[in-house]
Amino acid sequence: MKLTDTDPRILSLAAEVAKSPEQSVPVILLKLKEIINSTPLGSSELKKIKQDIYCYDLIQYCLLVLRQDCSRIQGGWTTISQLTQIVSQCCVGLEPGEDAEEFYRELLPAATENFLILGKRLQACFLNTAKGEEKDELLHFFQIVTDSLLWLLGGHVQLIQNVLQSDHFLHLLQTDNVEIGSSVMTLLHNILQINSGDLLRIEGNTLHSILDEVISKLLSTPSLHIRSTAVTLLLLMAQSHQEILISLRLSACYKGLRNLLNKQEVGTEFGQELGQLISVLSPTLYQEVEEQKLHQAATLIQAYWKGFQTRKRLKKLPSAVIALQRSFRSKRAKALLKLNRQKEEKDLKLQLQLERQRAMRLSRELRLSMLEIVHPGQMQKYNQELEEKSALIIQKHWRGYRERKMFQRQRPSLMERKAAVILQRAVLKFLAKCRKKKKLFAPWQGLQELTDAQRVQLKQQVDDYVRRRPDSRMSDVASRELHAQAQERLKHYFMSRALEGRAQQHREALMAQISTSIEQLMKAPSLKEAEGKEPELFLSRSRPVAAKAKQAHLITLKHTQAPWWKKLGEEPGNEIDVSKEDLTIELETLFIGGTKSL
């Protein structure tokens, strides 16, 4: 709703309620009465004002105030009674629009319940007050609350059933006070005049409680007004609903009601209505017999029907029990199967995780053992081969995934191609059979005879072919000689290859030694800076090689043992600095040419 369409008085009142403290809210809400009374009844402006009041939750504020203690509200029961009038006037004729479900299912039942609770509070205060003036005021406030409730029920008839079924209303009806009882009986009479059909919709116990209270008021109350109202109520109930009339006539609870009514003094105010009630409850002998027969017939039919239903239910009981047991066992088996599957899946996941950890541990141990076994000079080559194998495995899995995906995409076309091949094969077979049948049924033409010139030409071609392709078979002696020659050449080849391998290995060792010596010389200090022991390092051929090997081995071990975050950003060719203390190795046992062990 747009703010421009809202009544400015409602806007200012809602803003004042929102800003004011809790104690001042009830008095502020009383201004709604002036706004409603200043608007003509039945006009569209009044409907619009009620919609604005509901949209700004002012009705909900009024209900919240009605739930509070009377002693904490400014103005007491006067303010509360006026707020009940405001709530009933705002709810009757209101069109909630989009919030219709909340309005009819929550707000209206809450309003009727609050009115009944207020009536109980007023009843308790009225009974506990001894002063006459205060009693008159409380009775006046109680009358205002009941009138507001009746006005609300007149606008919303569906709430009558809620009121009749309420324990608070039954509590109000059970009072022994004459003034309160008279107001409650008048309220019940007016409610039934609005819609008496809701009596049959309430529960049987509640209906009998209401009837008992009305009959009790008729027989025991000295007030003529209450008795007159009770007679009117009973007559209205009996004439409106045949079930209530039958219950009053035949029920054991109301067996002596007719005799008690005959003993009542027929007053001038309700004597005619009391006579009508007695005549309604006093049927002729024939009618009574017919009613007894109908009652007995209905009882007999009910007994037979209940017996049939019981026997039918007992016959179906074994099969129902079996079906129930089967269903329970199947559900239990499914649940156990599901639990077992979940347990197996968890065990499998745990086993796979353990296997992966074990495999990773083994691979790391294998790599460490390989680092110890493999020569430091071959580590780069080994790592390169390992990376190539890993890349090949990744490529293999990726290509397999890609080919499977492409196969799934190409599967329809492959199926079509296969179907086409099958069709073509079938067609070709069919055509071959047709050609074969044609040849079988073709007329015999006979063989064409050769002339003498053609025979001479064919014989000459055969002789030329035999002369060009003589017999290729070899004797056993020639085969043995050829085999001996092949073995001799093979032996010579293997011997020469072994000599070449040793020579190549010797050349590679010399090249490695030369490169190591050159590298050591390049890194060696000058003669001026050299100390006493440093020149002795170059007196042996094996000592530089051992130093270089130890250096490479230490670099590899440090790189392997370093944490992963230190390896980030490194490249394969990066070298790691190794201190001279780590390079100090036990080379005392190495042989140095021309000297003894150091």
Q: What is the pLDDT of residue 477?
A: 86
382 shares a domain with 276: no
| Residue stretches of the chain with pLDDT short of 50 | 1-4, 252, 256, 266-268, 285-286, 572-573, 576, 578, 582-598
Residues 468, 458: Cα–Cα separation, whole Å: 16
The single-letter DSSP state of residue 202 is S
Domain assignment of residue 161, yes or no: yes
Q: What is the pLDDT of residue 110?
A: 83
59 shares a domain with 199: yes
Residues 302, 315: Cα–Cα separation, whole Å: 20
CB–CB of 86/79 below 8 Å? no
Which residue, among 578, 597, 576, 577, has the nearest Cα to 587 in the 3D structure?
597
Residues 74, 227: Cα–Cα separation, whole Å: 39
CB–CB of 141/77 below 8 Å? yes
227 shares a domain with 94: yes
115 shares a domain with 256: yes
394 shares a domain with 257: no
Domain assignment of residue 277, yes or no: yes
106 shares a domain with 219: yes
228 shares a domain with 100: yes
In sequence order, the 6+-apart residues with CB closer than 8 A to the CB of 26 are 65, 73, 74, 75, 79, 80, 83
Residues 492, 505: Cα–Cα separation, whole Å: 20
Dihedral angle over CA of 223, 226, 230, 236, nearest 10: 140
CB–CB of 256/213 below 8 Å? no
Total count of domains within the chain: 3
Residues 573, 545: Cα–Cα separation, whole Å: 21
Domain assignment of residue 314, yes or no: no
Residues 407, 404: Cα–Cα separation, whole Å: 5
Domain assignment of residue 398, yes or no: yes
Q: What is the CA radius of gyration of the chain?
A: 58
Domain assignment of residue 200, yes or no: yes
Q: Letter for the amino acid at 64?
A: L
162 shares a domain with 270: yes
Convert the pLDDT of each residue in 281-317 to its tens digit.
Answer: 665 544 555 677 788 889 999 999 999 998 888 888 8
Domain assignment of residue 341, yes or no: no
Which residue, among 109, 211, 93, has the nearest Cα to 159 in the 3D structure?
109
The tokens describing 416, both together, are: 């079509």
393 shares a domain with 245: no
Q: Which domain holds residue 11?
A: 3-284
Domain assignment of residue 305, yes or no: no
Q: Where are the strands (E) in 380-506, listed by range?
A: none
In sequence order, the 6+-apart residues with CB closer than 8 A to the CB of 281 are 238, 245, 248, 249, 257, 258, 261
End residue of a domain, out of 259, 284, 309: 284
Q: Where are the strands (E) in 291-396, listed by range?
A: none
Convert the pLDDT of each residue in 264-287 to its tens digit.
Answer: 554 445 555 565 566 556 655 445
CATH code, domain carrying 197: 1.25.10.10
Domain assignment of residue 183, yes or no: yes
